[in-house]
Structure 1
Amino acid sequence: MATYKFTLTPIDKFYFGKEKHPVRPSYFLESNPFPQQTGLLGLTRHYLLLAKNVIDDKNEWDKLIGKKGFDGTPKTYGKIKKIYPVYISDNHNNYYYPVKQLDNLFFVNNTKVKVSYNNRSIKNLQILATEEASVKQTNQLNLKQSFFKDAFLKNDENYNNLIPFYNELEKYTTPNFFGIKLKKLNSKGIFIKHIQPGITKNYEGEKKEDAYFKTQYLKLHKGFSFSFFAEVDEVLDEKNILFMTFGGEASVYKVRVKKADNEVQNTPFGKKTEGNIFHFLSDAIIKSDVFEYVNQFIGETQFFRALKIGGKNLKRLYNIDRKPEKINEYFTSSQLLIKKGSIAFVDKDHEKDFIDALNNDNLKAYKNIGYNYYKQLKNLDV
């Protein structure tokens, strides 16, 4: 058994799927900045087939990558035993984790919080959001809406010295927040926005009002890549560099692997931490009633996405504004995730309850492919 670091460097722009409302579609489509872990599992399985030159030999598939992809039930995937959360890396072996920018935020008290398909009033929960959100959403706050600025934390550095997501220099004026002295963000960002217009052709010649649209792709600044660790019971050639399509628009990535048996323990994924402040290093599956343990929350939710392939049938395991479809006892097609980078301030008396909820036995299948990872802190001024 060995742990490998997979590094994915996009050759050009890329696009990771994001839900579009079925009734009120927007003409503006935005890429998610990160792929979901289910997609990385699929890429890892595909990589092994290519690296071992058995892509055309289906007799070898089950042993190498397992019979089936992710479906929410506990299993391993052939030689792939475990996958850790995706993060951003650079050429100097630094790692970057998303975090919500703790600036210009206001308390929104006693709101109904949409953390599942049923609105739930969470008693004594304080939601932190921008001033715009606090004004417009006085009765209900939908955590799927982006009311926060995203930033990156480099390695285990101070939370008051963050790196912005995008190549937009902005000044932040709030002098103090939860005892943190905020500074101006210290670089030109990691992602670059690339907006491209498009048109949907109507081959019948009929007029189509919503034919025109814009797509916001993303690029990475030179020197940055996506990375994740995977435990694989197979020897992989570190000199073997593959070019693979991944994500929307068949974007091309340069994929490299490197043996990294001792690296995981030097990252927050492998370190044991303590404290009642939870910084989510990955997307996390959590039931809405767990918010009873949370005093303050800075974060958002997003839909779970996965593709279930059986024979010639392709099933999309996600659903927008529909009744949840139960796939099995562990899985529904409309599972909501707490978005990586979110921060929860948990009541100290319920810290263990919160941890137990994140590590529930029914969620082992998700944890095994990189969901529900977090870092605990005693304070954010570290």
Structure 2
Amino acid sequence: MSNKYLVKLRPMGSFFFGSERTFGLGEDNEHYIIQSECFPQQTSILGMLRKEILVIKKLIRNDWNYSKTRDKVDKLIGKKSFNINLKEKQNFGVIEKVHPVFIRKENKYLMSIPKDHKMQDVGEEVNKKYTPYKFCEKRKCTVSFENKKEKEVYIPYDYEAKVGLAGGFIDKDKNVINFDDVFKEDKQIGIRLKKNKQTSEDELYKIIRYRLKNNCEFVFNLDINFDEYFKEVDLNGYSNIVSLGGEASYFKISFQKVDEYIVDNFKNISSSHKKDIYRKIILLSNTYISKEQYDQYCNYGIINGITFRNLKTDYSEFEVKVKGKYYKKFKKTDKYMFLERGSVLFSKCEYEKLKHQIEGNSNIKDIGYNKYI
């Protein structure tokens, strides 16, 4: 039986969500100015949940040796970490589906503002409601692709390069919420010591973390399949302190049973019709489609890219926590380029095929990627 839950993550202080650029994992790192992402990776959320289920059932082991409880652990959280390349359906035990992470500010859910939002005309007041760019038959340009093929695409006639693209969030009523009303930067400059405790100029670093404003928290939905090993009573009233992100930032986690999903709040944000020049897709989460699929089915996009690479736990090469070898049980996957949440894709004739490609990888969808309206 599947059960819907609202999971709340309230930061205990500043946090750092890494992508490609982060300190740690026992390796040298070439980046000296690094900045946190605003949202955790869905793979990090999945890993945190798998660990917390073991904590709830008192099965967690600091030595990572689960040989005596392997069968029970596998039934609770599955056998392996997420694998983006796996074709067959992945199993994470009682975790049926993890949904995208959103922000809740007081009692309102927020999504990243669509990148086709027209902030303002030059010299005019800022739009306080989500106002999409407009297209018309007379405004188009010719685009050349890598294969030297050219095609004409329609472009927004009211886009002003001087103004740039919007940032921030919107609620279900399309009200714009500024980025600074949700996040606060926490900057730190330091110097890393060498093994001999000596310093040098090239060991300087600057790190930018974030804090959420007092009335904000991260939230996401979770579908759980209770069974003989994991029952509803295990989550009733449960809360704890968990670590998450590239620097193991701390959050208070709690679970609340609900009847609706957060994404239901945003169904009316996108207004795309067959009569429009383009039909559009607004990404609610980071999304992966191949470059070939994007070029084939998407006529125009207002997008940002974000790198994706997750850690896989390899128990078969387990090493004890000595001499810096502890982290060798973690392996990095290959690097991929995702489309960032809030990106907007436009398609004239291949709209349904574009949707099909986004929905095609069920494993990615089941952990909270590739969600759109």
Larger Rg belongs to: 2
Deviation sequence 1:49-81 (CA, Å, 0-9, x none): 112222247342111111111012221201001
Q: CA deviation at 1:309?
A: 1.0
- Confirm or deny: 8 A CA contact 1:238 1:257 kept in the other structure: yes
Q: Sequence identity, in percent?
A: 26
The code of the aligned residue for 2:314 comes to G
Given candidates 224, 229, 233, the residue that maps to 1:232 is 224
Instruction: Summarize the Cα distance change of 1:10–1:126 in structure 2 as closer, same or farther, 3 Å threshold.
Output: farther
The answer for the alignment partner of 2:17 in structure 1 is 16
Give 1:212's aligned residue: 204
Of 141, 158, 162, which aligns to 2:176?
A: 162
Equivalents in 2 of 1:154, 1:372: separation in Å? 20
Distance change >3 Å, CA 265–CA 203, structure 1 → 2: closer
TM-score norm. by structure 1 comes to 0.73
Residues 203 and 310 of structure 1: is their aligned pair in 2 closer, same or farther, counting only changes over 3 Å? closer
Whole-Å separation in 2 of the counterparts to 1:306 and 1:108: 39
2:111 maps to: 97
Secondary structure at 1:150's aligned position in 2? coil
Contact 1:125/1:291, CA 8 A, preserved across alignment: no
SS at match of 2:299: strand
Matches within 5 A, 1:356-375: 356-360=356-360, 363-375=361-373
Residue aligned with 1:17, SS: coil
Partner residue of 1:139?
none
| C-alpha distance in 2 between matches for 1:42 and 1:270 | 32
Alignment of 1:205-284 (within 5 A): 208-234=200-226, 235=232, 236-264=234-262, 266-268=264-266, 275=273, 276-284=279-287
Matches within 5 A, 1:1-382: 1-20=2-21, 27-56=32-61, 58-59=69-70, 60-72=72-84, 73=86, 74-92=89-107, 94-99=108-113, 100=115, 101-103=117-119, 123-125=151-153, 131=161, 148-155=165-172, 157-158=173-174, 161-165=175-179, 167=180, 189-204=181-196, 208-234=200-226, 235=232, 236-264=234-262, 266-268=264-266, 275=273, 276-289=279-292, 290-311=294-315, 312=318, 313-317=329-333, 333-347=334-348, 349-360=349-360, 363-375=361-373
CA contact (8 A) 2:19 2:308 kept: no
Higher mean displacement: 4-13 or 267-276: 267-276
The structure-2 alpha-carbon separation of the partners of 1:264 and 1:163, relative to structure 1 and needing over 3 Å to count, comes to: closer
Counterpart Cα distance in 2 of 1:300 and 1:121: 23
**Offset at residue 88 of structure 1 (A):** 0.7
Q: State the alpha-carbon separation in 2 of the partners of residues 309 and 80 from structure 1.
A: 18
Task: Say if 1:283 and 1:338, in contact at 8 Å, map to a contact too.
Answer: yes
Q: Specify whether residues 267 and 104 from structure 1 end up closer, same or farther in structure 2 by C-alpha distance, changes over 3 A only.
A: closer
- Per-residue CA deviations over 1:149-193 (Å, capped at 9, x if unaligned) read 4210112x22xx31122x2xxxxxxxxxxxxxxxxxxxxx20101
Q: 5+ residue gaps in structure 1?
A: 134-146, 168-188, 318-332, 376-382
Contact 2:109/2:262, CA 8 A, preserved across alignment: no
**Native 8 Å contact 1:126 1:297 kept in 2:** no
Q: 1:83, 1:119 → 2: CA distance?
A: 38
* Counterpart contact for 1:124–1:295, Cα < 8 Å: no
Q: Which amino acid aligns with 2:351?
A: E
* Alignment partners' CA distance in 2, 1:50 and 1:75: 22
Give, in whole Å, the separation in 2 of the partners of 1:196 and 1:246. 20
Distance 2:242 2:140 in 1: 45
Which one has a larger percent strand, Structure 1 or Structure 2? Answer: 1
Letter in 2 for 1:12: G
Question: Aligned to 2:168, what secondary structure does the other structure show?
Answer: strand
Letter in 2 for 1:83: V
Q: Which runs of 5+ in 2 are unaligned?
A: 23-28, 122-132, 134-138, 227-231, 274-278, 319-328
* 3-state SS, counterpart of residue 266 of structure 1: helix
Query: Which one-letter code corresponds to 1:66 in the other structure?
Result: G
Give the distance between the partners of 1:242 and 1:81, measured in 2 at CA.
21
Q: What is the TM-score of this pair, normalised by structure 2?
A: 0.74
Q: CA deviation at 1:272?
A: 11
